[in-house]
Amino acid sequence: MRRALDSETPCKLPFRPLIQGEPLSSWLIRSALACGCDPLILCTSIWGAWRPWTRDIDRSLAQVRIQTLSEASGIDAQRLRASTLQQTLANLIPSDASFAGCWPWVVARGSRNRRSHGGFPFCPHCLAQDARPHLRLSWRLAWHVGCEHHGICLLDFCARCGAVVSPQMLTASSGDITACWRCGADLRESRGCTCDPKALAAQGLADAVLAGGPGSALPPEMSTSEWFSAVRSVISERWAAITATSGIEPASFASGLRFELQSVCERHLRMRYLQEVIEARNGDLRGVGVKYVSGVQRKRRARRGVKRGSPPRPRSKAAVMADWARLLRRMGQGYQ
Ligand SMILES: [Zn+2]
Ligand SMILES: [Zn+2]
Residue 133 has pLDDT above 90, yes or no: yes
Q: How far apart are CA 334 and CA 192, in angstroms?
A: 14
Q: Are 27 and 19 in contact (CB under 8 A)?
A: yes
User: Measured in angstroms, how far is the CA atom of residue 132 from the centroid of ligand 1?
Assistant: 14
Q: Is pLDDT at 336 greater than 80 in this prediction?
A: no
Choose the weakest-confidence range: 54-63, 283-292, 304-313: 304-313
The answer, yes or no, to whether residue 296 has pLDDT greater than 60, is no
Q: Is the pLDDT of residue 283 over 50?
A: yes
| Alpha carbon of 158 to ligand 2 centroid (Å) | 5
Q: Which ligand has its closest atom nearest to the C-alpha of 139?
A: 1
**What is the pLDDT confidence band of residue 323, given thresholds at 50, 70 and 90?**
confident
Check residue 228 and give its pLDDT. Answer: 93
Do 180 and 163 form a contact (C-beta atoms < 8 A)? yes
The average pLDDT across 269-290 equals 86
pLDDT at 331: 72
User: How many angstroms separate the alpha carbon of residue 235 from the centre of ligand 1?
Assistant: 24
Specify which of 217-221, 266-270, 299-303 reaches the highest per-range mean pLDDT: 266-270
CA of residue 205 to ligand 2 center, whole Å: 33
pLDDT score, position 292: 47
Q: What is the pTM of this model?
A: 0.83
Ligand positioned closest to the Cα atom of 155 = 1
For residues 122 and 295, the model is more confident at: 122
| Nearest ligand, CA 151 | 1
**Three-state SS at 257:** coil
- Residues found in the chain: 336
d(CA 26, CA 135): 6
| pLDDT at 165 (0 to 100) | 93
pLDDT at res. 6: 39
Exposure of 224 by Cβ count < 10 A (0-12 exposed, 13-18 middle, 19+ buried)? Answer: middle
Quote the mean pLDDT of the chain. 83
Other C-beta atoms lying within 10 Å of the C-beta of residue 148:
14
pLDDT of residue 218: 76
235 touches 274 (CB < 8 A): yes
Give distance in angstroms: CA of 157 to centre of ligand 2. Answer: 8
Distance CA 269, CA 198 (A): 10
- How close is the Cα of 159 to the center of ligand 2, in Å? 7
* 180 Cα: distance to centroid of ligand 1 (angstroms): 18
**How close is the Cα of 147 to the center of ligand 1, in Å?**
5
Q: Which ligand is nearest to the CA of 192?
A: 1
Indicate if the pLDDT at residue 239 is higher than 90.
Answer: no
Alpha-carbon Rg for the chain, nearest whole angstrom, is 21
Please check the confidence at residue 1 and state whether its pLDDT lies above 50: no
In angstroms, the CA 44 to CA 139 distance is: 27
Q: How many whole angstroms from 162 Cα to the centroid of ligand 2?
A: 6
Q: Which ligand is nearest to the CA of 136?
A: 1
CA of 181 to the centre of ligand 2 (A): 7
pLDDT at 34 over 70: yes
Give the model's pLDDT for residue 7. Answer: 40
Terminal C-alpha separation, the chain: 42
Q: What is the pLDDT of residues 138-153, one digit of tens each?
A: 999 999 999 999 999 9
CA–centroid distance, residue 260 to ligand 2 (Å): 23
Residue 4: the pLDDT is 41
Is 135:26 a contact under the CB 8 Å cutoff? Answer: yes
Query: What percentage of the chain reaches a pLDDT higher than 90?
Result: 52
Instruction: Please tell me the distance between residue 149's alpha carbon and the centre of ligand 1 in angstroms.
Output: 5
The SS3 of residue 206 is helix
**What mean pLDDT comes out for the span 106-118?**
80
Residue 199: band (very low, low, confident or very high) from pLDDT cuts 50, 70, 90: very high
Angle between helices 197-211 and 264-280 (to 10 degrees): 80
Q: Distance, CA 150 to ligand 1 centroid (Å)?
A: 5
Looking only at the bridges linking them, the beta strands covering 115-116 and 111-112 are: antiparallel
Distance, CA of 39 to CA of 119 (rounded, Å) = 17
| Whether residue 92 has pLDDT greater than 90 | no
Query: Separation of 196 CA from ligand 2 center, angstroms?
Result: 26
Whether 239 and 254 have beta carbons less than 8 Å apart is answered as: yes
